[in-house]
């Protein structure tokens, strides 16, 4: 058992619309004391997750915390984009009895974690893997929503910046995609963004689009879609070619994912690499990587430039937690210098 009087810890975490991952580590960040994963939607607030985690941990109570959150952080306050949670740094520090609580955009902490990724935690879509040093990089992650972040090289180190690029306008590039845009505009009259097509619910919307174009939905498919996670069922049906609308939805999903990743590579001039994070990339993109890369490179005059960009899928589920830990260590070092 760890002696709480002689030791301390840091709390790091990654809050997503689907899962919340928490870890307690020693102050050096080298030793994991305890970690756990919780289904976010089963809790009313982050405190409802953090309190039992800290209470059950056989480890010293943390003095500092860094948590990534799926949504913008403004003046220390953040609302999770796809959850009814509102987090406030000062309130959390007080209620959880932690000296300093820091909130970061989730893709920023994922981006920070990507920089420390080991080769075995990356599945390459290109011949060579990312080579970040001295170059800009980009990070994109389809999950409950669509997250995007950039890593800009300032001459000495990478600076991680949050974006809400996933909510940018969806730009159709073919007659089929134009028809899809009109279909989605009927559902979302205010705004059709990339997140509406590149996310878990986006895959479901693509399936509905192809299903609406005709064809009978077998009873076995209806039953499968009604059981458990509908979007996961669509992915399984599509990847196994068990149902044509699902298969077409998966293929178009991957193509649109590749197109937006290519957009990011151009916007950030990400010659150091593009990282794909999240379970969707691990499961779906890797199974259709040729479709992804074809769409990634389909940029006309700039296709030759994009051929120089390494692309990799991050297969480490705790990459966001690792990034939060890196931010926590930076904070501890800066306090010591001060």
Which residues of the chain carry a pLDDT beneath 50? 1-6
Region(s) of the chain under CATH 3.40.367.20 = 166-314
Kindly state the tokens that stand for 7.
């030791």
Q: How many CB atoms lie within 10 A of CB 106?
A: 32
Burial of 127 (0-12, 13-18, 19+ CB in 10 A): exposed
Third-level CATH fold of 166-314 = Hexokinase; domain 1 (3.40.367)
Third-level CATH fold of 9-111+318-337 = Nucleotidyltransferase; domain 5 (3.30.420)
**How many Å apart are CA 275 and CA 137, to the nearest integer?**
8
Region(s) of the chain under CATH 3.30.420.40 = 9-111+318-337
């Amino acid at each position: 058992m760890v002696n709480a009087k002689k030791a301390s810890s840091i709390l790091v975490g990654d809050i997503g619309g689907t899962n919340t991952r928490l870890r307690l580590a020693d102050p050096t960040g080298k030793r994991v004391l305890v970690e756990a994963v919780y289904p976010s939607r089963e809790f009313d607030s982050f405190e409802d997750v953090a309190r039992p985690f800290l209470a059950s941990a056989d480890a010293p109570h943390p003095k500092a915390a860094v948590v990534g959150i799926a949504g913008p952080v403004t003046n220390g306050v953040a609302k999770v984009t796809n959850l009814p949670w509102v987090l406030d740094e000062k309130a959390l520090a007080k209620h959880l009895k932690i000296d300093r609580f820091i909130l970061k955009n989730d893709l920023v902490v994922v981006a920070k974690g990507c920089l420390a990724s080991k080769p075995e935690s990356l599945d390459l879509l290109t011949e060579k893997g990312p080579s970040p040093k001295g170059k800009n990089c980009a990070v994109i992650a389809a999950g409950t929503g669509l997250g995007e972040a950039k890593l800009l090289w300032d001459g000495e180190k990478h600076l991680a910046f949050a974006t809400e690029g996933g909510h940018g306008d969806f730009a159709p590039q073919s007659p089929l995609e134009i028809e899809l845009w009109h279909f989605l505009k009927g559902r979302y009259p205010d705004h059709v963004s990339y997140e509406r097509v590149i996310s878990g619910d986006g895959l479901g919307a693509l399936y509905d689009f192809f299903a609406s174009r005709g064809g009978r939905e077998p009873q076995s498919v209806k039953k499968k879609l009604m059981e458990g996670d509908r979007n996961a069922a669509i992915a399984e049906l599509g990847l196994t070619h068990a149902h044509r609308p699902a298969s077409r939805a998966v293929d178009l999903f991957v193509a649109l994912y590749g197109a937006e990743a290519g957009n990011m590579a151009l916007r950030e001039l990400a010659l150091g690499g593009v990282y794909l994070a999240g379970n969707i990339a691990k499961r779906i993109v890797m199974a259709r990587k040729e479709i992804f890369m074809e769409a990634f490179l389909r940029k006309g005059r700039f296709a030759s430039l994009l051929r120089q960009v390494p692309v990799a899928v991050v297969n480490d589920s705790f990459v966001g937690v690792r990034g939060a830990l890196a931010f926590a260590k930076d904070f501890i070092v800066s306090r010591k210098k001060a």
